[in-house]
Structure 1
Amino acid sequence: MARFSAIFFGFSKQVLQTVATKKMPHQSLTHNTILYGTMKRIQDILKERILVLDGAMGTMLQRYKFTEEDFRGKRFADWEHPLQGNNDLLSLTQPEAIAEVHRKYFAAGADIVETNTFSGTTIAMADYFMEDLVYELNYESACIAKQVADEFTAKEPHKPRFVAGSIGPTNKTASMSPDVNDPGFRGVTFDELRIAYKQQVEALLDGGSDILLVETIFDTLNAKAALFAIEEVKEERNIDVPIMVSGTITDASGRTLSGQTAEAFLISISHIPILSVGFNCALGASQLVPHLEVLAAKTDFGVSAHPNAGLPNAFGEYDETAEQMAAQIKEYLDKSLVNIVGGCCGTTPEHINAIANLVKDYKPRNIALETV
């Protein structure tokens, strides 16, 4: 029902037609063939070289200094609730800026850019009372990224560019209580997460995403709901899609927020055929080394890493330069720990360029691609 009520908020003509016919824009034999071809192409590339993921979207958007008015645009000028900080919304109100960020990362050497959809679920969008816009937000974000990726692939066919649909953790957790006085309470159920993630996955694929990236996982039960939703969509559409899974080690304890070690996290998601498993956010590049070593030693999946630009300073800012970060990531390469590497909070095209220049001289870590 949410998708139908969203009509009243001014969907694009193409999305309206999609809703009216109940047929996804890209749900066709041709698109399914493209997805299968993309899977094979990415696997072939991973045999030859290390793939470079983009850096932070939020860090780049901060440079634009968008105001409340900018976030609203003309379309949401009269929205009853504050919208500043809803970065996903900028795909609708400032699409040129989103495309420009993607272009900068591709120009810097990235092979893959993430869609601007980190909070693109009905659960997260409830903070802005924009649940009915979720399909459009994800669809348009994927379209923007795919158009830019195709531009670069057309110019450099020898270096194809890909789009990873970013699937964030939401702002709720299924395995922990938000109320210390009621440890049995849960702010969200597995089924609520599954339904929300499924809507996001459908829209990301309809918009042209080549890969699905379940990232910044602090609660593995949330991630399992996302992976379950992806498997549902794959089965319903008879498609295969490369899946990247990336957890978050929250502190020096070496565990996720829900208490899992790197090995426990790996075991928890290994029942799904995925392209890669890795870690992002929370820690800087050097702090991730021991956790990546665990993954690299214990899995045949690809291993990914997109760490922060160091640890935040007292003002919540990241000071690590591109050169400093690249010097730390060199240890990943010297130890043959990763197949995909990029950046998270605080990273910019400069950081990604330094990483891209570095990985050119290294062979990828060996993986058993037949398991994907």
Structure 2
Amino acid sequence: MNDIAPQVARRVLLLDGAMGTMIQSHHLDEEAYRWQGITAEGSSEILNLTRPEVIAQIHRSYLEAGADIIETNTFCANRINLLEYGLEDHVDIINRRACRIAREEARDRAYVAGVMGPTNHALSLASKLEDPAFRRFDFNDFHASYLEQALLLIEGGVDLFLIETVFDTLVAKSAIIAALDAMERLSVHVPIMVSVTFSDASRRTLSGQSLASFIETMAPFPLFSLGLNCSTGPEEMIDLIQEMSETSPF
């Protein structure tokens, strides 16, 4: 694990780009998504096991382009997400392999961010339109899922956490608390980056929160940074970035 704070104090660091679209550019066939009798087409994370050379090449291309930080291929590698593909019993190996691939490519020339993404489920939004109170998973379920992943990412040697594409603040809180709990359990400190996404021109998250409200919600946590990703594109994000730079305590 490498301390990123001194470098950030000296210069701007470049984060890599998207993993999903880079995987799509390889035009992989269905066979690439089969592992031990499981077919998980659509799961980028299974490629850590079946096509590690593809993931390594993507990391390498970003490093060659000048990235200072590369992200593990673990966006959907938590138990709740992997359940959708029948991979819930393979959370351990998927995260460990992802970390190994990224670390081997990064070596001493870049930092590795352990990515924890959202799920297809939410806490602020109903799981069933006909039953607004129904939630398939509760806060404790999300926390347990993220805690399991956070422990694996730390053990895999990540230099920081990236909790990204946040659209539900309650789920983000569960991930942050899980990351903090994992650090306490393993007696280490790993910086936490959080990145939120806004769904449309309304300048609100999918769960209806404004940027100002989101920043206020995140303020009590000891975050390393707060940022934006996805949303509606770079041009539309300029005003949000300006607002964030003026109001964020991070």
State TM-score, norm by structure 2: 0.97
Q: CA deviation at 1:267?
A: 1.1
Deviation at 1:161, TM superposition (A): 0.5
The equivalent of 1:84 in structure 2 is: 41
The equivalent of 1:101 in structure 2 is 58
**Offset of residue 287 of structure 1:** 0.5
* Cα separation, 1, equivalents of 2:237 and 2:231: 9
| Residues 307-318 of structure 1: pairs in structure 2 closer than 5 A | none
2:13 equivalent among 17, 35, 51: 51
| Equivalent-residue separation in structure 2 for 1:180 and 1:95 (angstroms) | 39
Q: What does residue 232 of structure 2 align with?
A: 283
- How far apart in 2 are the matches of 1:122 and 1:300? 32
Counterpart amino acid of residue 203 in structure 1: L
Structure label with greater radius of gyration: 1
Deviation (angstroms), 1:250: 0.6
The 5-angstrom pairing of residues 327-346 of structure 1 reads none
Structure 2: distance between partners of 1:167 and 1:211: 11
Residue of structure 1 aligned with 2:96, choices 117, 135, 139: 139
Residue 32 of structure 2, aligned match among 70, 73, 89: 70
Aligned to 1:115: 72
1:246 is paired with a residue whose SS is: strand
For 1:60, the equivalent position in structure 2 comes to 22
- Residue aligned with 2:195, SS: strand
- The residue that corresponds to 1:258 in the other structure is 207
Q: Is the 8 A contact 2:161 2:190 kept in 1?
A: yes
Contact residue 231 and residue 237 of structure 2 kept, 8 A:
no
Cα distance in structure 2, aligned partners of 1:126 and 1:224:
21
TM-fit CA distance, 1:255: 0.4
1:59-108, Cα deviation, whole Å (9 max, x unpaired): 11112211111221xx42x33xx321111000011011111110010000
The aligned amino acid for 1:126 is: L
Report the CA distance between 1:139 and its aligned residue: 1.1
Displacement of 1:148 in angstroms is: 0.6
Which residue of 117, 124, 128 corresponds with 1:179? 128
**Partners in 1 of 2:165 and 2:248 — Cα distance?**
19
Indicate conservation of the 8 Å contact 1:175/1:186, yes or no.
no
The structural deviation recorded for 1:167 is: 0.4
1:189 aligns to what? 138
CA shift, 1:142, in A, is: 0.8
Q: Deviations over 1:210-250 (max 9, x none)?
A: 11000000100000000110111111122111110000111
Q: Distance in 2 between matches of 1:234 and 1:101?
A: 29
Once the 2 structures are TM-superposed, how far is the Cα of residue 192 of structure 1 from its aligned partner?
0.2
* Residue of 122, 131, 149 corresponding to 2:106: 149
Out of 119, 124, 134, the residue aligned to residue 81 of structure 2 is: 124
User: What secondary structure sits across from 1:216 in the alignment?
Assistant: strand
Name the residue aligned to 1:313: none
- TM norm structure 1: 0.66
SS of structure 2 residue aligned to 1:256? coil
Secondary structure of 2:22's match? helix
Which of 172, 194, 215 aligns to 1:245? It is 194
Q: In the alignment, residue 161 of structure 2 is paired with which amino acid? A: L
The alignment covers a number of residue pairs equal to 250
* Whole-Å separation in 1 of the counterparts to 2:33 and 2:156: 22
Contact between 1:136 and 1:203, CA under 8 Å: does it hold in 2?
no
Rounded Cα–Cα distance in structure 2 between residues aligned with 1:300 and 1:174? 26
Q: CA deviation at 1:145?
A: 0.1
Please list, as runs of the form range in 1=range in 2, the aligned pairs for 1:337-356 lying within 5 A after superposition. none
Pair 1:214 & 2:151 matched:
no
Structure with the bigger RCO (C-alpha within 8 Å, sep 6+) is 1
Letter in 2 for 1:65: H
Provide runs of 4+ in structure 1 moved above 2 Å: none
* Cα distance in 1, alignment partners of residues 233 and 167 from structure 2: 16
Q: Deviations over 1:168-197 (max 9, x none)?
A: 011110111022221111121000000000
Q: Which runs of 5+ in 1 are unaligned?
A: 1-34, 154-159, 302-372
CA distance in 2, matches of 1:148, 1:117: 16
What is the root-mean-square deviation of aligned Cα atoms in Å?
1.2
